[in-house]
């Protein structure tokens, strides 16, 4: 059986990543923290189980903000991924950092309570007021 690798990296090529299994989550996020981290009005992520991911590159840097760790390339500054200790062992790569972003269609919107009022995305996807991923205690806050 052939394993499909899901690959990506930063703009300058100093950081590369691959996942050996299919993503478990593809979504848009409208939260203010993602806006600040990416400089975009909305972010899109592709989630994989952390034990199925390999990241290479000595220039990978990270920034911790409470339970969230965001990684980026220390050379070109490209945002790479985030992990949130409140929601388990998944790493969420920036959809735009994927080598073939067209292959990862988001399936929902998260944190729509923080969506910018001028941003309209009439795509019919489910919308979550807060997180789209339940916490281990079952909450979505």
pLDDT digits (tens, 9 = 90+) for 32-87: 999 999 999 999 999 999 999 999 999 999 999 999 999 999 999 999 999 999 88
Q: Provide the residue count of the chain.
A: 141
pTM, two decimals, is 0.91
Q: HSE (CB half, 13 Å, CA atoms) of 14? A: 13
DSSP 135: -
pLDDT at res. 139: 61
Q: How confident is the model at residue 4 (pLDDT cuts 50, 70, 90)?
A: confident
In the predicted model, is pLDDT for residue 108 greater than 90?
A: yes
pLDDT at res. 1: 47
> pLDDT tens, 13-26?
999 999 999 999 99
What is the spatial distance between Cα 108 and Cα 42, in angstroms, rounded to a whole number? 12
């Amino acid at each position: 059986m052939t394993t499909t690798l899901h690959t990506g990296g930063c703009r300058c090529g100093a950081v590369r990543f691959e996942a050996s299994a299919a993503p478990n989550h593809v979504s848009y996020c409208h939260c203010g923290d993602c806006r600040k981290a990416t400089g975009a009005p909305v972010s899109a992520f592709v989630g994989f189980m952390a034990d199925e991911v390999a990241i290479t590159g000595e220039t990978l840097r990270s920034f911790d903000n409470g339970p969230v760790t965001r990684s980026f390339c220390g050379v070109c500054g490209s945002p790479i991924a985030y992990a949130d200790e409140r929601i388990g062992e998944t790493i969420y790569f920036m959809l735009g950092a994927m080598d073939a972003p067209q292959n990862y269609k988001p399936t929902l919107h998260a944190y729509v309570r923080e969506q910018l009022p001028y941003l309209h995305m009439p795509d019919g996807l489910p919308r979550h007021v807060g997180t789209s991923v339940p916490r281990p205690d079952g909450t979505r806050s």
